[in-house]
A and B are shown apart, each in its own frame.
Chain A
Amino acid sequence: MSAPTLTKDPAVKDRRPRKPRTRAPHLPDGGFGKTLRRNLTAHGFLIGAVLCFAFFSWYPIVREFLLAFQKTEDGDVSWVGWDNFVTVWNDPAFGQAWRNTLWFTVLALLLGFVVPFVTALIINEFRHGQGYLRLLVYLPVMLPPTASVLLFKYLYDPGYGMFNEILGVFGVPAQQWLQDPDTAMLSVVVASTWMNMGGATLIYLAALQGVPGELYEAAELDGAGLFRKVWHVTVPQTRLILLLMLLMQIIATMQVFIEPFLLTGGAGPEGSTTTVVYLIYQYAFNFNNYGAAAALGLVLLVLLAGFSAVYTKLNRADQD
């Protein structure tokens, strides 16, 4: 699934002239009672969603900040200042989780960012069967992640797994995949890319349709080959989408949880697949240390909020 995107509100422009007619009480059809009634109706329509947001979104956001500075013991809540952050910092798993998460992000960018773009480039070149190829690429996105992850667990099995069988056809020796600390994270990323690349590919395809053909013609006159055309025409022309998807990819991969959780039980061989979110999960639900979980979550939040802010700003700029 592609992550949400913010676009410019088309109503923004025509909102201004409308305002005085419907809002100002001094207009002939206005009157204080009427405005009040109109507002009550409008808020009546809003209240259900607002309550859900209040309980399950806004309050939890506030609480995340509070929890990070609290300790809960036998139901008693006490303020502990920065203690939770110190606990998290001193945990030997902290450094490893961040290293793993960054490593995952780098690998996921190499694969999860480049593969869908190249896939879209290839599909876009064909004048036949585009619908079929698009359908194939998006198919895994519709599977429940539990199913695809467990499926990959079997495919990776060093004994009866299909991957070693296929590699064997090409004469490559059998790999340990998930059981080897060196290849565990890469295996997780491959599975994750297979599961999630459909959405990105379709968005790139849509962007590629917008590249003016004349630019390719002009590049050819200048004697550009295939790769130079991609580099000097396609990439600059789709630059903004690429940048937005890159940011989205970073935000998504830094939060990776289900793939390592189901593929390697979370930590993996020698902790090689412990990610930051898995560590948060462990603090909260294995050690019942909500304060430490919140502190670590807050660190992640601050880091990713930076990326989110850039993303939103760029997306807004794109729409204007």
Chain B
Amino acid sequence: MSTRTLISPAQLARPRGKALYWVAFALVVVLFTLAFLGPLYWMVTSGLKTTQEAVQTPPTWVPGSVHAENYKRAWEVMDLAKLLMNTLYYAFGALAFQLVLDVAAAYSLSKLRPVLGKMILGLMLATLMIPATVLVVPQYLTALDVPIVERNLLNSPWAIWLPSVTNAFNIFLLKRFFDSIPKELLDAASMDGAGPLRVLWSIVLPVSRPILGVVSIFAVVGVWKDFLWPMLVLPDPSKQTLAVGIYSLATSVPENVLIASLTIASLPTLILFLIFQRNIMSGLTAGGLKG
């Protein structure tokens, strides 16, 4: 028994309270299941219907006949293998960039403390106050022609990877975690002659596994869920992500095939969530929102 809540335990202990509790509980479980799993159930089953059945009025709750080949058709017609591989490539590339560059930056700001480090951190955190959508236009123009190096990043994975590093929230989370690592531990390693890189690799990273896990999951999910930016910088259909590719093909395939493809596109992040739900949920509050 944890803390007491709105309804008093005494009230709940009475037979009437008990009965009410279980009725309410059953009702809420059914309602929530319908509200949150219902649409997903409809998505999976409509992907199994024939095209006529998928768009018939009134709609059917259970497919009249099962057509698993819709999923195969979606896979082939929409070239989902290609889109899936693209998305994986962008997502894990972005993860690698974020892990290397953001961890290095957070480590430097937390433990090496360079001149102007505070100001740099402040400038990074300040970007959190700028509404992201406002920056889409100038960011797009930058990707179109990166200043100084004069490169066009359109249709290149760099257009996804490099901006993903500018995640001030990740850097902040990592820095806060690194700050909590006792100084004595690092000093002892330095005494033994370990350089900063060695200290990072052998001491900081091993103890930071939980936060690295959280940051990694959010990095991958972030790329998987993104829509506007990849739509702008990856106009070539063969380079697109799953989310953008499905949108651009939406009008050219039959409904049941499209719905099947939605299911396929949703599966990877759903599976990731079911495996790592504890990390994800704790990561949510790791930002420090407390009551």
Binding site for B on A (CB under 8 A): 1-2, 4-7, 9-11, 18, 22-23, 38-39, 41-43, 45-46, 48-50, 52-53, 55-61, 63-64, 67, 121-129, 132-140, 142-148, 150-152, 154-155, 159-162, 165, 168, 194, 199, 202-203, 206-213, 216-217, 220, 226, 229-230, 234, 237-238, 240-241, 244, 251, 254-255, 257-258, 262, 277, 280-281, 284-285, 290, 293-294, 297-298, 300-301, 304-305, 308-309, 312, 318-319
Q: A209 contacts which chain B residues (CB < 8 A)?
A: 2-3, 291
Residues B85-128 near A (CB distance < 8 A)? 100-102, 104-105, 107-110, 112-115, 117, 120, 123-125, 127-128
- The chain B residue sitting closest to A298, CB to CB, is B134
Complexed CA–CA distance, A10 and B182 (Å): 12
* B62 CB–A CB distance under 8 Å: no
Q: A194 contacts which chain B residues (CB < 8 A)?
A: 35-36, 39
- The chain A residue sitting closest to B218, CB to CB, is A1
Q: A210 contacts which chain B residues (CB < 8 A)?
A: 290-291
- The chain B residue sitting closest to A130, CB to CB, is B2
Complexed CA–CA distance, A308 and B243 (Å): 29
Please state if B25 and A129 are interface contacts (CB–CB under 8 Å): yes
Please state if A139 and B6 are interface contacts (CB–CB under 8 Å): no
Complexed CA–CA distance, A104 and B115 (Å): 46
Please state if B129 and A305 are interface contacts (CB–CB under 8 Å): yes
Q: A49 contacts which chain B residues (CB < 8 A)?
A: 101-102, 104-105, 124, 165-166, 171
Decide yes or no: A154 and B255 within 8 Å by CB, A58-B123, A64-B135, A146-B246 being known contacts: yes
CB distance from A308 to the nearest CB of B (A): 4
Q: A139 contacts which chain B residues (CB < 8 A)?
A: 36-37, 40, 270, 273
* B225 CB–A CB distance under 8 Å: yes
Q: B46 contacts which chain A residues (CB < 8 A)?
A: 154
Q: B147 contacts which chain A residues (CB < 8 A)?
A: 55, 59
Complexed CA–CA distance, A308 and B55 (Å): 45
* B262 CB–A CB distance under 8 Å: yes
Q: A53 contacts which chain B residues (CB < 8 A)?
A: 123-124, 127, 165-166
- Most B CB atoms within 10 A — which of A57, A134, A238? A57
Decide yes or no: A22 and B137 within 8 Å by CB, A124-B5, A308-B129 being known contacts: no
The segment from B63-71, B72-80, B207-215, B277-285 found at the interface with A is: B277-285
* B258 CB–A CB distance under 8 Å: yes
* B15 CB–A CB distance under 8 Å: no
Please state if A60 and B138 are interface contacts (CB–CB under 8 Å): yes
Decide yes or no: A60 and B288 within 8 Å by CB, A52-B163, A160-B57 being known contacts: no
CB distance from B60 to the nearest CB of A (A): 9
Please state if B288 and A206 are interface contacts (CB–CB under 8 Å): no
Main SS at interface, chain B: helix
CB distance from A266 to the nearest CB of B (A): 12
Please state if B221 and A61 are interface contacts (CB–CB under 8 Å): no
Please state if A136 and B169 are interface contacts (CB–CB under 8 Å): no
Pick the 6 closest A-B CB pairs, nearest first: A7-B288, A42-B114, A213-B4, A207-B291, A42-B112, A49-B105
From B54, B262, B281, contact of A134 by CB (8 A): B281
- Most A CB atoms within 10 A — which of B6, B104, B107? B6
Please state if B140 and A137 are interface contacts (CB–CB under 8 Å): no
Interface residues in B, total, Cβ within 8 A: 114
Complexed CA–CA distance, A237 and B290 (Å): 12
Q: Mind listing 12 A-B residue pairs with CB under 8 Å?
A: A53-B165, A56-B142, A63-B141, A64-B135, A67-B138, A139-B273, A154-B42, A159-B55, A211-B291, A212-B3, A213-B4, A300-B131
* B234 CB–A CB distance under 8 Å: no
- Most A CB atoms within 10 A — which of B42, B131, B168? B131
Please state if B5 and A55 are interface contacts (CB–CB under 8 Å): no
Please state if B57 and A150 are interface contacts (CB–CB under 8 Å): no
Please state if B179 and A150 are interface contacts (CB–CB under 8 Å): no
Additional A-B contacts beyond A61-B127, A63-B141, A257-B228 (9; CB < 8 A)? A6-B172, A46-B104, A59-B142, A132-B29, A146-B244, A147-B263, A202-B284, A226-B7, A284-B137
Q: B168 contacts which chain A residues (CB < 8 A)?
A: 4
Please state if B115 and A39 are interface contacts (CB–CB under 8 Å): yes
Complexed CA–CA distance, A107 and B55 (Å): 30
Q: A297 contacts which chain B residues (CB < 8 A)?
A: 133-134, 137
Q: A241 contacts which chain B residues (CB < 8 A)?
A: 289, 291
- The chain B residue sitting closest to A122, CB to CB, is B28
